[in-house]
């Protein structure tokens, strides 16, 4: 058992002073430090100092560890050019992948305060490293394929990977399901996979309306995707419409990633069906996809995406980028909302006892020290200064242990 204390503790979106937390693998009690110390006199206290903040461990809801070998092979700047480069270099990137590269990504996330990771697995090459990771992993087995002739084979391959991951499930490793995107997965495959996910109560995620080209293809079978689909898949027609795709998810609250081309009505639809949006601002910028209208999302989460479309997996860098991208938003309010996107909102959307400092929840913490104590104690700026000033944690704790 341990006690930790700091100048501030972030709980229920409020920065409390003078509090301590008692925990072992899970959080046992939160309360005024002196009361807690009297109640647990034999338990040692670590106090992190004057300008420290204890947050629940941050959640990076979307990354692709299997693309960790990419630095400059994939083309940035335009989504369609990026997609062509994925087709050209996918094999090379997978061949260059090793445990060390994926572990570096996990370590980079840990330093930035990430204690739970949504890992999209396209091939299953990241299963071992995720299983042995120090953080908690939501392991999203991806299904992809738009050719109806291959649906059975693809489902069987997906099912195999899913079952392998289900055999490893525990409170650090949560198997789940990723449907790649509306342009790349046949509705028959989507239905089969969602049915399975529902029966096993697995979380679901999907890339959605990431680029202008994707939207054009889904709406009118035209635009830059047309040539690509003709060339690689010998087809001139999208397998889903936007509305048809979304309708498949009505019974399955889902985490939709990107949504840069989603309009107000799409966001209202997400809100109505308890879907969440995972925002990946750096990936969106680097692939030329534009700005997601996050102001319309009720449940907003944040993701770094992978090295396939980013230059680091630090969630602190992602928070900074989000703060800069949405330049019309009120600065302090946006900062608070972004901190919620990596804590409370993710907690609710993932339906796990994480992302909040709450009795009975996992003892996962991200502890930061601000560059300077905020003399005027304007708590409205604590979220902002966490994002601006912090490059890494003082300590990252998962299941009660420093990682």
Which residue minimizes CB distance to Fe ion?
305
Q: Tell whether residue 108 is a contact of ligand MCF (CB under 6 A).
A: no
Q: Give the Cα separation of 190 and 195 in Å (integer).
A: 8
**Residue whose entry in the numeric block shows the structure tokens 């050209």:** 88
Compute the 3-state secondary structure of the chain and give helix, strand, coil in percent, each to the nearest 5. Answer: 40, 25, 35
Interacting partner of 86 out of ligand MCF, Fe ion, none (Cβ under 5 to 8 A depending on kind): ligand MCF
* Binder among 52, 105, 113, 142 for ligand MCF (CB under 6 A): 142
From Fe ion, ligand MCF, none, interface partner of 320 (C-beta below 5 to 8 A by class): none
Of 52 and 121, which has the nearer Cβ to Fe ion? 121
Partner touching 299 among Fe ion, ligand MCF, none, CB below 5 to 8 Å by kind: none
Residues in region 52-81 near ligand MCF by CB under 6 A? 64, 67
d(CA 294, CA 299): 9
Which of Fe ion, ligand MCF, none binds 122 (CB below 5-8 Å, type-dependent)? ligand MCF
Q: Which of 94, 144, 228, 402 binds ligand MCF (CB under 6 A)?
A: 144
Min separation Cβ 123 and ligand MCF, Å = 8
303-318 b/e (C-beta count within 10 Å ≥ 16 → b): bbbbbbbbeebbbbbb
Output the CA angle 349-351-356, nearest 5 degrees. Answer: 85
Beta-carbon contacts of residue 275 (< 8 Å; ≥ 6 apart): 249, 253, 254, 255, 256, 269, 299
- Nearest approach, Cβ of residue 60 and Fe ion (Å): 12
Structure tokens at 230: 């003709």
The entry of Fe ion, ligand MCF, none near residue 2 (CB within 5 to 8 angstroms by kind) is none
CB nearer to ligand MCF: pick between 225 and 365: 225
Q: Is 17 a catalytic residue?
A: no
Any bridge partners for residue 4, and if so which?
Answer: 21, 46
DSSP letters along 33-85, please? HHHHHHHSTTS-EEE--TTEEEEEPEEEEEE-GGGTT-SSSSPPS-HHHHHHH
The mark string for 289-328 relative to ligand MCF (x by CB under 6 A, - otherwise) is ----------------xx-xx-------------------
For Fe ion, the binding residue among 66, 126, 214, 305 (CB under 5 A) is 305
Residue position matching structure tokens 């999907």 = 206
Q: Pick from ligand MCF, Fe ion, none: which does 329 bind, CB < 5 to 8 A by kind? A: none
The residue count of the chain comes to 403
| Beta carbon nearer to ligand MCF, 312 or 381 | 312
Structure tokens at 233: 């898949």
Whether residue 139 contacts residue 174, with contact meaning beta carbons closer than 8 Å, is answered with yes
Region of 130-138, 185-193, 294-302, 304-312 interacting with Fe ion (CB under 5 A)? 304-312
Q: How far is the CB of 52 from ligand MCF (least distance, A)?
A: 34
3-state secondary structure of 124: coil
Catalytic residue among 108, 210, 214, 356: 210
> What distance in Å separates the CA atoms of residue 232 and residue 37, rounded to the nearest whole number?
65
Residue positions annotated with a catalytic role = 210
Binding residues vs Fe ion (CB under 5 A): 305
Binding residues vs ligand MCF (CB under 6 A): 64, 67, 86, 120, 122, 142, 144, 180, 184, 207, 210, 283, 305-306, 308-309
């Amino acid at each position: 058992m341990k006690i930790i204390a700091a100048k501030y503790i972030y709980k229920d979106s409020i920065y409390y002073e003078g509090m301590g937390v008692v925990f072992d693998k899970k959080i046992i009690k939160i309360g005024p430090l002196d009361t807690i110390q009297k109640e647990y006199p034999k338990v040692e206290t670590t106090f992190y100092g004057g300008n420290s903040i204890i947050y629940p461990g941050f959640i990076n809801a979307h990354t692709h560890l299997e693309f960790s070998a990419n630095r400059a092979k994939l083309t940035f700047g335009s989504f369609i050019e990026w997609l062509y480069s994925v087709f050209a270099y996918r094999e090379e990137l997978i061949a260059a992948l090793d445990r060390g590269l994926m572990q570096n990504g996990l370590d980079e996330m840990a330093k930035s305060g990430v204690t739970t990771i949504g890992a999209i697995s396209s091939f299953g090459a990241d299963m071992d490293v995720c299983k042995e990771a120090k953080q908690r992993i939501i392991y999203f087995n991806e299904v992809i394929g738009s050719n109806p002739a291959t649906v059975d084979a693809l489902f069987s391959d997906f099912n195999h990977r899913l079952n392998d991951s289900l055999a490893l499930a525990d409170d650090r490793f949560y198997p789940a399901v990723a449907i790649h995107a509306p342009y790349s997965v046949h509705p028959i495959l989507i239905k089969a996979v969602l049915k399975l996910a529902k029966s096993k109560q697995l979380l679901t995620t999907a890339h959605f309306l990431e680029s202008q080209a994707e939207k054009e293809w889904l709406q009118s079978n035209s635009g830059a995707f047309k040539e690509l689909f003709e060339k690689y898949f010998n087809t001139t027609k999208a397998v889903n419409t936007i509305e048809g795709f979304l309708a498949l998810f009505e019974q399955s609250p889902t985490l939709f990633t990107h949504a840069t081309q989603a309009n107000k009505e799409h966001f209202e639809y997400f809100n109505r069906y308890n879907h969440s949006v995972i925002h990946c601002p750096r990936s969106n910028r680097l692939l030329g996809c534009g700005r997601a209208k996050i102001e319309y999302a009720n449940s907003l989460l944040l993701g770094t995406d992978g090295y396939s479309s980013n230059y680091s997996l630090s969630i602190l860098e992602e928070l900074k980028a989000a703060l800069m991208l949405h330049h019309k938003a009120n600065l302090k309010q946006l900062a608070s909302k972004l901190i919620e996107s990596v804590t409370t909102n993710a907690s609710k959307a993932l339906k796990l006892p994480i992302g909040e400092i709450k009795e009975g929840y996992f003892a996962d913490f991200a502890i930061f020290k601000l560059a300077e104590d905020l003399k005027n104690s304007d708590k409205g700026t604590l979220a902002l200064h966490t994002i601006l000033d912090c490059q890494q944690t003082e300590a990252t704790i998962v299941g009660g242990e420093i990682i």
